[in-house]
């Protein structure tokens, strides 16, 4: 079996679990962009894979004839063509909720950093300045959550502890949250935090029209998927003052290209996709991923996302 998740290593607890289950492990960590031909090469002779955010396209999957199981060591699986996987008899699983607490805490780090302009202050001091701009308190403000999955639900008690009102767009219901349509959420929220999956419906959801509906003092936080946000529209909205700024942990193309419009815009902070990357969440993801992989091989998968696989 192939392991591409970069924090898993030969000889670690996950490796021991897989070898005890009788599996031979092969490591090819994903540490940046990977050419499809390279991915086809590492999948040669592989029966099962524990993967990071690999671009497992229909073409790549068609050229991996032995592959039968894919387990994503995370929640999102938009990098995998699950339909093509099903057609080739490949089961695809994810790990719902595995890093929800890590993402929720990180979300609040971005909220606090944006509200108090911590990055801009530290950057100014590093450049020999002494910035003294006013920030904002979270207490008394409204937080809008786009999506209500595990990470969004974990954000709610943190927000309430800070004295924030929480609104959300979702068909689900939960305590301490008022559910509204997206236009109302955008127009009433002081902070908008994205926690929804990337689908055809949500791709480009936050576009020029969405930013026009937001408060000029509003801050956007995205820890979900970069393609949910129209990056050119976001830059235009921040530069024109339609919204105050954005704190992004995810972007459309990762790592962030040198010519990205997001670079060098005062008010936009970009981090390197770290929301779920804690030692605790990584260990949980590795072990749960290994358990799901072994369970799937034994015909007792728990989190298959393409039912035909």
Report, as residue numbers or ranges, the catalytic residues: 225, 254, 273
* Nearest Cα to Cα of residue 222 among 160, 146, 115: 146
DSSP for 7-71, please give it.
Answer: T--TTSHHHHHHHHTTPPPEE----S---HHHHHHHTTT-SEEEESS--B-HHHHHT-TT--EEE
Burial (CB count <10 Å: 0-12, 13-18, 19+), residue 162: middle
* Nearest Cα to Cα of residue 251 among 282, 278, 224: 224
Tokens coding 1: 């079996």
Residues 6+ apart with CB under 8 A from 147: 168, 169, 170, 194, 195, 196, 197, 224
Burial (CB count <10 Å: 0-12, 13-18, 19+), residue 69: buried
Buried b (16+ CB within 10 A) or exposed e, 9-34: eeeeebbebbeeeebebeebebeeeb
Tokens coding 93: 């699983």
Instruction: Report the run of H or E that residue 80 belongs to, with start and end.
Output: none
- Interatomic CA distance for residues 218 and 222, integer angstroms: 13
Q: Where are the beta strands (DSSP E) in 67-202?
A: 69-72, 91-93, 142-146, 165-169, 178-179, 191-194
Dihedral in degrees, nearest 10, Cα atoms 254, 256, 258, 263: 160
Q: Are 189 and 143 in contact (CB under 8 A)?
A: yes
Tokens coding 286: 């590795």
């Amino acid at each position: 079996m192939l392991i591409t998740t970069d924090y898993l290593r030969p000889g670690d607890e996950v490796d021991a679990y897989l070898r005890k289950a009788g599996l031979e492990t092969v490591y090819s960590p994903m540490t940046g962009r990977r050419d499809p031909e390279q991915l086809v090469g590492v999948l040669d002779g592989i029966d099962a894979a524990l993967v990071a955010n690999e671009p497992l396209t229909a073409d790549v999957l068609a050229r991996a004839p032995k592959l039968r199981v894919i387990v994503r060591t995370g929640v999102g699986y938009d990098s995998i063509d699950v339909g093509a996987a099903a057609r080739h008899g490949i089961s695809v699983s994810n790990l719902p909720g595995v890093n929800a607490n890590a993402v929720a805490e990180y979300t609040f780090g971005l909220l606090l950093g944006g509200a108090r302009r911590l990055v801009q202050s530290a950057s100014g001091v590093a450049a020999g300045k002494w910035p003294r701009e006013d920030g904002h308190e979270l207490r008394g403000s409204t937080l809008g959550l786009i999506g209500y999955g595990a990470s969004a639900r974990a954000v709610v008690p943190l927000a309430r502890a800070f004295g924030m009102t929480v609104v959300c767009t979702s068909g689900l219901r939960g305590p301490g949250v008022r559910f509204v349509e997206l236009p109302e959420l955008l127009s009433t929220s002081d902070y908008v935090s994205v926690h929804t999956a990337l689908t055809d419906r949500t791709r480009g959801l936050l576009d020029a029209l969405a930013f026009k509906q937001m408060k000029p003092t509003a801050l956007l936080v995205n820890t979900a998927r970069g393609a949910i946000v129209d990056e050119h529209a976001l830059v235009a909205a921040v530069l024109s003052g339609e919204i105050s700024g954005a704190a992004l942990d995810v972007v459309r193309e990762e790592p962030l290209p040198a010519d990205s419009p997001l670079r060098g815009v005062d008010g936009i902070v970009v981090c390197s996709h770290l929301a779920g990357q804690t030692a605790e969440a990584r260990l949980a993801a590795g072990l749960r991923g290994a358990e799901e992989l072994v369970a799937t091989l034994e015909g007792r998968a728990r989190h298959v996302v393409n039912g035909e696989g």
